[in-house]
A = this chain, B = another copy of it.
Amino acid sequence: MSWIVGGVKHGNEEDSNLGIDWVLQYDFSELDQTEAIAEYRSLVQSLTNAGLRVQVRHGHGSSLLVCIHVPRDQLGRMVHQSRIKDWLFGISSTIPAGPGNTIAAAETPSEEIRSVYHAVTWSESMGGAGITPGFGKWKRVTASFPLHDQDACSELLSKWNRKGNLTMEDLDAIRALFGEKVAFYFAFIHCYSLFLMFPAALGIFVWWFLGPYSIVNAVLLCAWCVVFVEFWKLREFDLSVRWKVDGVGQLKVNRAQYRWEKEVKDPVSGEVKHIFPAWKQIMRQFLLLPFASVASLALGTLIVATFASEVFISEVYNGPLKSYLEFVPTVLFSLSLPAITSFLTGIAGKLTEYENYRTQDLHDLANTQKTFIMHFITSFLPTILTAYVYVPFGHQIVPKLDLLRRLGMETFSNKEFVVDTSRFQAEVIYLSMTAQVFSFAEEIVLPYVKHVLWQKWQNYREHKAGLKRQRSFSKATDLLLIDPPQEVQFLRRLRSEASADEYKVEEDILEMCVQFGYLALFGVAWPLVPLGFLLNNWLEVRGDFFKLTLECQRPPPIRADSIGPCVLGLDFLAWLGTLSTAAIVHLYRGPISEVRLSSLLLTVFIAEQLYLAMRFVAAAVLRKILDETLSRDEASHFAVRKAYLETQQARYRSPDSPTRVRQRVRFHERVDVYSSDTTVSPEGSPSPSSTTEQQPLNEDLRGSDREADFWDSRQCEPIEAGSKIIRALSESKVQLESKGKKRA
């Protein structure tokens, strides 16, 4: 794909972002002039109040591009403050050096940009400018993004083209550029692709020797799914420790939309927390159930209708225009799906808003859950219908569709209807090969072409408008409207980025989950599925990076410690996959007509138990094996504590006698037998044995007389006393024994 990189390689001149840390696009097309100016003034005022520098250029159409620069000293202080907060919440184990107003250098560009992001978006009370794009007062701020670092991006992309596989370094680089949330996606696709190599190799072997629906393949594939999911959970944890983001969710700030019911001051930490009762949220979360039902019903009906008419036309209908009519259902489906999906997405968004999550993270998580349900239905239902309804029951159902024939029309094939049992396999092959290529084109190539053409059109229009305007305004305004020659290239890029899409990493993660789902649910039908996915992913990872850097706005470098709710989705798909694989193998290995329901149920039931056992074993074994690599976090905490302890000990070094800590009252309120509280032992000698030798033996025994008697009454030492007792007792034993013998 070096042709792409070649095409976008920029000279040094254009690479520089001119010190612009952040860009806001202010769209005033719906306001009249004076309102727009007033609102714009207040926007700039908010920004400068927060200590940010501002510059402005005009954007495409009726919009302004507000460029923001954070003075380096302020940025350094924010970085330091953010690190202190991390430390306070236990995210990082090392306390940042220096006093509160230290100016720290960011370790990565993303750390820097995150502080810029906070400076722009956090509320005034937290020291930010309080700009919440698209919400409330700032709903006309239509874009809010940092500029891409073109140099670094093209360098990374060209580096990836030269090698087959990503390394940990590449992931670190993505993290440094785009933050942990994006990096987790690339880590996931990387890990997943590496894991895919095993079923891909197995698939070639099975394809050659065993054919589809092989039991060996089924078992190994299910085991692979389980092991992969369990491995990823650990890998995710490992990465979150490496990137110091483990548990980062809790220190996120409240969403602007969050409505709390009471403020509680934590008695221990002294922090003020805004609480919304958990049970209320749970009650609201249960609305997920009706939502899922509605979504299933709406999407399910659409899919079933499409499916039925498609089957009807392709297998029953035999009249005129058949070759054209065959495409009609799919076209209708494709046309109506976006409308239904966007309707459901709207409901999902409102529901999530109603559920009232404290942080943006939790909000996104809940939203992704709902999207997952919709994706699940649209992606898997058609194939599920083919596998479990059409093929097994088609010969009973399809003839009933044949209403028209009963009406006496003669356009239909008169031959007996026969279910096309290979249809399921054909669909799986299509999913793993053609559909992947199509979706790649749809997701990456098409938007890129569209974006480029749109930019060219906009620039052309601007140019013409500019020529027109030259004649109508004052010279000063003209200077503002016409880009100075040294900025033309840069501003073109700025405008292009401002009108680009936001990068939604959740969608890419979901796409991979769906792919994993195909493999887990239907992979057994065609052994080459994993190979197809592996090849696709090789391209996908590069394509996604291309999309991220050249088609989309640079995302704010948000931190995350996981790929989010998709882990749950993977778990679910691995479970459902096991059941589905077992059922498919059972159904399709022999003639379908001979399958009995009870034996099918038994197979699926046993498969489920195997799945549960396998998951348990995989989790335990992986955890054990990877334990050593996973304990780094604990070790670094240990090291910090140890260092701190040593500094503490050094402070105490001067006094010679050991310090005594106040005695507490004992458990049952009885005064301690050894009221040694007032005595100070002569010397805190380090060797414990020497203590007893130097001190008189009863030094610390002054409880009661009986105690003193016990420890000191006999003249003889314990060794002597014990030896005597041993001698006496064994002799008396011998005597008794000999007596016994005599008697016998």
Contact = CB atoms under 8 A, between A and B. Distances in A.
Nearest to A152: B668
A663 interface: yes
Interface stretch (A2-10, A90-98, A312-320, A325-333): A90-98
Nearest to A26: B722
Given A661-B105, A722-B56, A645 B688 contact: no
A621 B282 contact: yes
B481 A728 contact: yes
Place the interface of chain A in its size category. 35 or more
Interface string A681-692: 100101011111
B709 A486 contact: yes
A109 B672 CA distance: 10
B641 A88 contact: yes
Contact of A645 (B48, B69, B95, B472): B95
B691 A74 contact: yes
B18 A710 contact: yes
Contacts of A16: 673, 703-704, 706-707
Contacts of A598: 596-598, 601
Contacts of A72: 674, 676, 700
28 contacts: A19-B674, A19-B701, A37-B722, A41-B722, A51-B688, A58-B725, A74-B691, A88-B645, A95-B645, A98-B659, A99-B655, A100-B649, A102-B659, A103-B659, A103-B660, A105-B660, A106-B664, A149-B667, A155-B668, A267-B635, A268-B636, A268-B639, A269-B635, A275-B628, A468-B732, A484-B713, A596-B598, A601-B605
Which of A55, A107, A637, A644 has most B Cβ within 10 Å?
Answer: A55
A697 B55 CA distance: 12
B732 A465 contact: yes
Interface hub of A56, A666, A716 (most chain B Cβ within 10 A):
A56
Contact of A40 (B20, B282, B624, B722): B722
B601 A71 contact: no
- Copies of this chain, whole number: 2
A408 to B, nearest CB: 42
Contact of A271 (B37, B52, B638): B638
Contact of A732 (B50, B127, B469): B469
A221 B628 CA distance: 41
Contact of A724 (B279, B476, B689, B735): B476
A114 B342 CA distance: 64
Interface string A108-126: 1100000000000000000
A358 to B, nearest CB: 12
A278 interface: yes
A692 B149 CA distance: 26
A727 B71 CA distance: 30
A176 B473 CA distance: 87
A674 B690 CA distance: 64
Mostly, the A contact residues are helix
Contacts of A743: none
Contacts of A278: 624-625, 627-628
B723 A109 contact: no
Interface string A609-649: 00010000000010011011000101111110110110011
Contacts of A639: 268-270
A28 to B, nearest CB: 6
B621 A99 contact: no
Given A64-B725, A604-B605, 12 more contacts: A55-B710, A66-B718, A71-B699, A74-B688, A95-B648, A98-B661, A99-B655, A103-B660, A266-B635, A477-B728, A487-B709, A605-B605
A429 interface: no
A9 B55 CA distance: 87
Q: Which of A636, A670, A725, A735 has the most CB of B within 10 A?
A: A725
Contacts of A109: 666-667
Contacts of A704: 16
Contact of A711 (B19, B36, B636): B19
A342 to B, nearest CB: 29
Nearest to A106: B664
A40 B730 CA distance: 14
A177 interface: yes
A658 interface: yes
